Structure 1
């Protein structure tokens, strides 16, 4: 029978990361290892377990049946290890274990988000806490929370998924923008007639509802679809597209006269952000302290010894 050592746990974590990333090459950045080192570790794990975990070659990466079964066991084992670390911390009223956080891109400029301040509050409390912060799309964050790969997410909530808990956090204002050189730029923000929007090229974020809502106001040509805010800004700045951006994010280009809002009095929209956790997963001290800090509850997120 296999006796699980610290070395085995490290190999199992490497196997999980490779599987989550979809292959050896894709996992190089995540693991901070080169391809040959990853391959050596995977071969060592297969030797330890006595099974072939995956096929790798010209046809790509694929788990074997034994690999899929092992992956499920690895998830259970690593979750138990993290729960144990968090539980030991709870006994001593210390923050411990790992805290996996998922956020959407470019929230840093939003003072309402408080993510940096919340992380600082946790670190000031001390303890053996490992923070893992991932930037993903809302659907990726929700899926990761569902699959216990993340403990908590901060997402714009539109269609709440079963099994997840959504707690309202703050509301973000999005406005339609055009870039310098665009036909609407000189008349923006208030001198644009809604009929002038008809047929203009519009860039939408794949996970946002803005293009559906806007279609009832103007007949824009949704000629580009992206999934990251920076991509929206890039296309707007080209002068060829209009698109929605959060006001806090667009402010830097508005100040330099490279962007202007388009009829913010009529076309601005609200996006409600929520804290997302699993309903069936008890909140660790780290998760609860992080959520308290996000809400500005400094009493529960105070530094150790305060």
Structure 2
């Protein structure tokens, strides 16, 4: 019979399934749950029966979630986060307890000024009992994690505006167009490179920016590859086959080693504003409020947002 209501037993089964999915298999979850693999198997089978779904594949090919299993895993993460939020809001009052899920874009660790590590350190020095998790994802996944309740706070570049989310500016990032050392344009000086040379080259598109969000001069590019995150774009640029926009703070490590260079910076460069997002309708726990406060303090202290700088 398919699940029609959620009982304490169901929460227990979902908790076991969540641990198995996080650990990547029954054997790895055994130590975490402190039960035998046979017991774990029974729990998962009971949950599958309750839901009327096959959640995972296990056998010689290894452990893997099915599409339904991934959907249930995502939903269970949101469910348990909401339960923790309830405990924090109702039972914890202003005490910093429960879980705090932070999701951040993949390239920020190299930013010379904004350091999430500083915020985490300042938060860690407070009197709290918070289980902190940090996830790294591309912008569209960050939005979905926050909307779905899998993350309390998202930090990244968000070219679109969703009515369900609040946005707070956090720090700026300069973007330039780069080519790799094996690209035909790499050894040519900028005065010897024309706009048509750039437009006719193969480009890698930022998968999280739709075509209608591109400025007019970038719509002329010949997009022959794409990636959903900065590291993927970097691999494509380093191959010498494609041009792509990268954050200057991220590309600097490769430029110093002679592996990439920017092209026509006066024509192809811009500044992006990285922001904090949170779901408007979500109750804000004391832990989330405090972490958000520390993020804003970090931005103000280091003067990371400049309203007079044009961004896109």
- Report the TM range for the smaller structure's normalisation: 0.7 to 0.9
Write the deviation string for residues 172-194 of structure 1: whole angstroms up to 9, x where unpaired: 11100011122211224555221
Query: Quick check: 2:205–2:226 contact (8 Å CA) kept in 1?
Result: yes
1:303 paired residue number: none
Query: Quick check: 1:14–1:31 contact (8 Å CA) kept in 2?
Result: no
CA distance in 2, matches of 1:261, 1:72: 42
Query: Quick check: 1:200–1:242 contact (8 Å CA) kept in 2?
Result: yes
Query: Quick check: 1:109–1:249 contact (8 Å CA) kept in 2?
Result: yes
C-alpha spacing 1:139/1:290, structure 2 compared with 1 (3 Å):
same
1:43 paired residue number: 42
CA distance in 2, matches of 1:184, 1:237: 13
Query: Quick check: 1:175–1:244 contact (8 Å CA) kept in 2?
Result: yes
SS in 2 for 1:241: coil
CA distance in 2, matches of 1:117, 1:83: 28
SS in 1 for 2:29: coil
2:66 paired residue number: 61
- 1:97 Cα offset (Å): 0.7
SS in 2 for 1:144: helix
Cα-Cα RMSD: 3.9
- 1:131 Cα offset (Å): 0.7
How many aligned positions are there? Answer: 285
CA distance in 1, matches of 2:299, 2:272: 26
2:14 paired residue number: 12
1:304 paired residue number: none
**TM-score of the two chains, using structure 2 as the length reference:** 0.76
- 1:287 Cα offset (Å): 1.2
Structure 1, unaligned stretches of length 5 or more?
19-23, 300-306
Structure 1 window deviating more from structure 2 (48-57 vs 80-89): it is: 48-57
Write the deviation string for residues 115-151 of structure 1: whole angstroms up to 9, x where unpaired: 1111111111031110111111211111111111111
**TM-score of the two chains, using structure 1 as the length reference:** 0.77
1:127 paired residue number: 128
CA distance in 1, matches of 2:123, 2:186: 45
- 1:80 Cα offset (Å): 2.5
Structure 2, unaligned stretches of length 5 or more?
59-64, 301-312
Write the deviation string for residues 189-209 of structure 1: whole angstroms up to 9, x where unpaired: 555221221320111121025
**Matches of residues 53-202 of structure 1 in structure 2 within 5 Å?**
53-55=52-54, 61=66, 76=79, 79-85=82-88, 87-90=90-93, 93-189=94-190, 191-202=192-203
